[in-house]
Amino acid sequence: MTHEILDPTTTSAWRDLREHAARLASTTIRDLVEADAGRPDSFALAAAGISFDASRQRLDDSTRTSLLDLAAECGVFGRRDQMLAGVHINVTEDRAVLHTALRMPAASTLVVDGVDVAADVHEVLARMGVFAEAVRSGEWRGATGERISAVVNIGIGGSDLGPAMAHIALEAFSQRDISFHFVSNVDPTDMSEALHALDPARTLFIVASKTFTTLETMTNAHAARSWLVATLGEDAVERHFVAVSTNAELVSAFGIDTANMFGFWDWVGGRYSMDSSIGLSTMIAIGAEQYGQLLAGFHAMDVHFATAPASGNVPLLMGLLSVWNRNFLDIETTAVLPYSQYLSRFPAYLQQLTMESNGKSVRLDGTAVDYQTGGIFWGEPGTNGQHSFYQLLHQGTSTVACDVIVVARSENPLTDQQDILVANALSQASVLSLGRTAAEVAADGTAEALVPHKVMPGNRPVSVLMVERLDPFTLGALVALYEHSVFVQGVIWGIDSFDQWGVELGKKVAMGILGDLLGTQPASFDASTDASIARYRSLA
Ligand code: F6P
């Protein structure tokens, strides 16, 4: 296929946006808020149960119009339609990008490269459902006839972060007599600590790896296998191990019955796979029906992204705001601040989604970009972060954009704690964006010498995302919102958001160093690495 490679900086919208940035250079968010009483309404959007309030972002209406022009000039809508139709928009791997097909309703049809992918998805979903319900009901037994009481997901990156995040997020909807564990790190501590209190006879391992070759996952899978076999023998492997993978040959070689392998496809990127069979642990936790709700939430956001007019399209605006902050306001990082303990792993999940997708320096045709691309995403749940890094957010020399996520209804109402939580979220959104001037600080009776220390510069762009409840549907919609926002950014920047070549060299070099450490292939590296290896050897 041919790729129209556009340098976004050559568009007229980009030039307009530069002018907007210059025009607004000395206009603060506070100025914008005070100048327009209608702003909270005109910058409030909603989709699939999520309200998105951009009124604390540093832009005005005409800037927003130019951002929408930029989307049009950069071909976001055409690219979106290509993605949804299964065109190979992952150019460097020559693959379709079809995570949206993972959540199409059962009656759908989507023929891509001659195959009805929607039918394939539902075939796997049906098998997952049967298996998940058998584990939940106790019909599926371990080798000695015991019920499964612990599920250990072994995977890394996209084969870990989504399920691990979703497990915590949906704990209130989970079957509580099964415990869930997520082992990802090749550090032997991760597996050892997970297995510490587990009974092999009641433990089910899900080996989750798209390729079934990932060093960390396969090392951990073999460690788990040895642990199980030591107590229950080789024959037990089939009752205690299932696989989620695209690689039937390696799954079978591991000793897993391929009848208990749940497949997915090369058109599902790892970081876009939590709603593929990689979500098997999630389905065991919440059951097939609620898992259907999760998929329905994803799908509702997909439909919105595909059909909502540009001016009210939430993922589109969210992605464009990220471009505005990154390329025109020179803001390098976004803090994701969920005011929900259930979303405690959401920032970690987003780190892979955003940074593995858009941390690129060349366009689709291999030409170097001369503008900034993917920003740095990080975060911690509020209110904990307030007592940690918010000092820098408020008064540091770096400006950090913030996504404040508010869940209105707690699954665990406890006196007035939910109101306390939400009061903190809204307070931070206000203070970060509006700040407090020297005159206001002085008017409080603050000693003159302390005034500069207490001035709050404000002007930190904040989006407030609010949902009624964090249930499976809403979680699906929230994840899809960020997925599509990442997509929009990638299209504007002209990069391939679906490959990850940057992680390969480190893996290869690690194998070389490992050969040297194990003595199987002694080698010499650069001087610093050789010195570090010698130091390690002297200490190990
Ligand atoms: O190292 C990066 C990566 O390829 C991710 O993109 C992926 O999610 C992860 O490794 C795990 O890969 P796999 O599912 O094949 O084990």
The model's pLDDT over 182-237, given as tens digits with 9 standing for 90+, comes to 999 999 999 999 999 999 999 999 999 999 999 999 999 999 999 999 999 999 99
Compute the distance from residue 315 Cα to the ligand 1 centre, in Å.
25
> 70: Cβ below 6 Å to ligand 1?
no
Give the model's pLDDT for residue 1: 45
- Is ligand 1 within 6 A of the CB of residue 156? yes
Condensed to tens digits (0 to 9), the pLDDT of residues 422-469 reads 999 999 999 999 999 999 999 999 999 999 999 999 999 999 999 999
Q: 270, 275, 245: which is closest to 257 by C-alpha?
A: 245
8 Å CB contact between 269 and 487: no
Residue with CA nearest ligand 1 atom 1 = 503
Reference 337, options 299, 382, 293; nearest CA is 382
CB of 430 closer than 6 A to ligand 1? no
Say yes or no to pLDDT of 58 above 80: yes
Tell me the mean pLDDT in the region 529-539: 98
Question: Catalytic positions, please?
Answer: 356, 387, 507
CA of 241 to the centre of ligand 1 (A): 20
* Ligand 1 pocket test, candidate residues 93, 161, 182, 211, most atoms within 8 A of CB: 211
pLDDT at position 463 is 98
| Residue 246, ligand 1, Cβ within 6 A | no
Q: Residues 25-53, buried b or exposed e (16+ Cβ, 10 A)?
A: eeebbbebbeeeeebeeebebebbbbbbb
Strands 400-407 and 333-339: parallel
Supply the pLDDT for residue 5. 81
Give the model confidence (pLDDT) of 388-421 as tens digits. 999 999 999 999 999 999 999 999 998 999 999 9
- 368 CB burial (10 A radius; 0-12, 13-18, 19+): exposed
**In the structure, what pLDDT confidence band is assigned to residue 125 with cuts at 50, 70 and 90?**
very high
Q: Is the pLDDT of residue 74 over 70?
A: yes
The preferred substitution site among 99, 156, 246, 503 for testing ligand 1, maximizing ligand atoms within 8 Å of CB, is 156
Write out the DSSP string of 503-515: GHHHHHHHHHHHH
Q: Which atom of ligand 1 is nearest to the CA of 356?
A: 6
Pocket lining: 163 vs ligand 1, CB cutoff 6 Å: no
SS3 536: helix
Residue nearest to atom 9 of ligand 1 (CA): 157
**Distance from Cα 268 to the centre of ligand 1, integer Å:** 11
* Residue 357 CB–ligand 1 contact under 6 Å: no
Residue with CA closest to ligand 1 atom 16? 209
Q: What pLDDT band is residue 260 in, cutting at 50, 70 and 90? A: very high
Q: Averaged over 336-343, what is the pLDDT?
A: 98
* Top mutation candidate among 92, 210, 277 for ligand 1, by most atoms within 8 Å of CB: 210
pLDDT at 318: 98
- Nearest residue (by CA) to ligand 1, atom 10, is 157
**Mean pLDDT, residues 489-493 taken together:** 98
